[in-house]
Amino acid sequence: MSSRPTAIRTAPCTHAERLLPGHQFADAYKVPARHGVDAIEATRLAFARGPLWIRALMGLRNGLVRLVGLKPARSRGFPIVSETPREVVMGFDDRHLDFRIVVAVAGGFATVTTLVRWHNAWGRAYLAAVLPFHRAIAARMIEGAA
């Protein structure tokens, strides 16, 4: 049985403010990147086949956000904002909050950074509710790029 490297918490990308000005939350996780993998491939690997528990949580999330009129995540991840071999930025702006997920490959590591800017109490409450799950999901997903 092969051992997958465990993601470790790291500093968010240095240009986070440019990607989502005024964000109030940022976190990041990194793993050693597979040899020769760029950010586009790392993103594909991270989102390719998440474990059943992640798919179940995302399904639950999509069902709940539809009830209050918010945008669901797409089945293959989130909309791509920009894409280069060094960095893929995904996310969207919504009534309650805006977010970006940044997958970057540099210095032998694949890193995922999450940025959130909330607009109101609903956005702040949503982030508080999903944060424990987010941390587990973000770390586990970037491990797919290792």
Whether residue 9 lies inside any domain: the answer is no
Averaged pLDDT for residues 35-49: 89
Whether residue 50 lies inside any domain: the answer is yes
Q: The domain spanning residue 76 has which CATH number?
A: 3.30.530
Whether residue 12 lies inside any domain: the answer is no
Give me the domain span that covers residue 27.
23-143
Whether residue 79 lies inside any domain: the answer is yes
- DSSP E strand stretches across the chain: 8-10, 25-32, 80-83, 87-93, 97-106, 109-118
Whether residue 1 lies inside any domain: the answer is no
pLDDT at res. 70: 62
pLDDT at res. 5: 84
Whether residue 70 lies inside any domain: the answer is yes
Sign of the Cα pseudo-torsion (93, 94, 99, 104, in order): negative
Asked if residues 140 and 129 have their Cβ atoms less than 8 Å apart, the reply is no
Averaged pLDDT for residues 116-120: 97
Whether residue 14 lies inside any domain: the answer is no
What is the count of structural domains for the chain? 1
pLDDT, greater one: 69 or 130: 130
Q: What is the pLDDT of residues 1-36, one digit of tens each?
A: 456 789 999 999 999 999 999 999 999 999 999 899
